[in-house]
Amino acid sequence: MENDNFTTLEQGAWGGLLGMHGRMMRLIDADLQAHSHISHVEFEVLLRLSWEADHRLRIHDLAARSVLTRSGISRLVERLEQAGLVVREKATEDRRGAYAVLTKAGMTHFEAALRQHVAFVRRHFLALFSEAELEQMAVFWQRVETGQANLESGDNTRPEN
Amino acid sequence: MENDNFTTLEQGAWGGLLGMHGRMMRLIDADLQAHSHISHVEFEVLLRLSWEADHRLRIHDLAARSVLTRSGISRLVERLEQAGLVVREKATEDRRGAYAVLTKAGMTHFEAALRQHVAFVRRHFLALFSEAELEQMAVFWQRVETGQANLESGDNTRPEN
DNA sequence: TATATGTGATTGCGCACGCAACAAACGCAT
DNA sequence: ATGCGTTTGTTGCGTGCGCAATCACATATA
C-alpha cells in the first residue's frame, strides 16, 4: 500500500529539497550573522529596499514580498532603525502609511553584506550546477508558482484544496 | 559590475527556490494544522518515529535528523506527549538517554495525517513534474549535500569557507 | 578506586514572530 | 458633510525556539 506514503523517487525529490534547504539556511544564517550581524530576513528586506530607485518601500509592500507579516516587518524595521540602517518616514500621500528608507550607512553596510552573501551562495549552491541546469530549475519553480503541470504528466488530479 | 549581484539566471534558480519554498511551507503548515492540528516539524518527528521498526528513537537522534536542536526536540516531544501521541521512556542501556515512542493513538493519528499530507504535496508539487524531472531534482539535492559539482561547470572556486 | 572529561536531556532566559485588537486615516455612499 | 466599511501600521499577549547552564550519567586516565 505504498499509495499512502512517498515513493523513493518522491522522497529523493521532495525530502531532498527540504533537507537541502534546511542545511543551506543554517549555513547562510551563520555566514550572514558572522560577517554582517544581520539575519537572513533582515538581509532580504535590505535587498528589496536596495532594488528601489529611491531606496524606500512601504511596510505593507515589504510584508507582501517577504515571508513575514506586517507586524513582523514592523518590528524588523524597528530593529534595523535602531541599528541605523534604515529610517522610518511617514507617507505624505497617505498619512496612515510609513516608509522604510535605506540610510547611507545602511546602503554601505548592505553592499558589503551582499558581496559576501552572493559569493557564499555561489560557492555552496550555484557553482554546483551548469547554466542549463540553473535554467531548468528556474522553470521548475515557475511551474510551481503558476500551478501549471508539465505537458503530459499522467495523474493530474486538479487542485481543488 | 554585475559580479557583485545575482544574475537574472541565478535569481531565477536561487531566488525562485526560496520563494517557492516559502509559499509551499505556508500552504503545508496551514493544511497540516487544519487537518491534523500539528505543525510541520511535529509531523516530521512523527514521520521519523514511524520509520523505525519499534517506533522509538532517542531525542538526540531526532535532533540530528531534524531542523531543530536538542532543546527544541525536547520541548516538541513534551508537546506530543501532552497530546498523547508519544511517550517518553528512559533508556536502560544508557541511563542518561530518553526515547520518544509512538503510542497506538499517535500512530493512528499520524497515519491519517500522512495520507492527507502526501496527497497535498503530490497535488501542489510532485504532480507538476515528470518522473525524469523528479529524478533529476533528487540528483541536484544530492549534489548539494555532497558539495560535489557537476562534471565540467567552469569556475569552481573550491569551498574553503 | 578516584578523578577528570565528555555526552544526553532538561530548563531559565531572551528573542523573533503570528494573531488579534486597536487607532488613525482613507474612500465611498448618501 | 456624515457615516460606514476598509486598510495601514503598531502593540499586548502567547508561543516556539536557540543558547547556555545544569544535572545525571558514561567513559577515560591515573
Q: List chain B residues with CB under 8 Å of A118.
A: 4-6
Measure CB to CB from residue A13 to each of B16, B138, B143 and give the nearest one.
B138
Q: Of residues A158 and A85, which shows the higher confidence score?
A: A85
Burial classification of residue B100, based on how many CB atoms lie within 10 Å of its CB (0-12 exposed, 13-18 middle, 19 or more buried): buried
Q: What is the pLDDT of residues A13-65, one digit of tens each?
A: 999 999 999 999 999 999 999 999 999 999 999 999 999 999 999 999 999 99
CA–CA separation, B149 and B61 (whole Å): 29
Q: Determine the distance in angstroms separating the CA of B72 from the nearest CA of chain A, rounded to an integer.
A: 15
Asked if residue B160 has pLDDT above 60, the reply is: no
Measure CB to CB from residue B149 to each of A16, A20, A127 and give the nearest one.
A127
Mean pLDDT of B130-143: 97
User: If you search the block for the grid coordinates 500551478, which residue do you land on?
Assistant: A147
CA-based nearest residue to B90, from B82, B81, B100, B78: B100
Query: CB within 8 A of A75, min separation 6: which ones?
Result: none
Contact B20 A155 (CB under 8 A): no
Split at pLDDT 50, 70, 90, the class of B148 is: confident
How much is the pLDDT for B158? Answer: 42
CA of residue A90 to C1' of nucleotide C19, angstroms: 25
Judge whether residue A96 contacts strand C, using its CB and a 7 Å cut-off. Answer: yes
Q: What is the pLDDT of residues B59-100, one digit of tens each?
A: 999 999 999 999 999 999 999 999 999 999 999 999 999 999
Q: Extract the runs of DSSP E, i.e. beta strands, from chain A.
A: 56-58, 86-90, 98-102
How much is the pLDDT for A120? Answer: 96
Give the type of residue at B149: A
Whole-number Cα distances in Å, A77 to A57, A106, B133: 11, 12, 40
How much is the pLDDT for A149? Answer: 79
Give the type of residue at A108: T
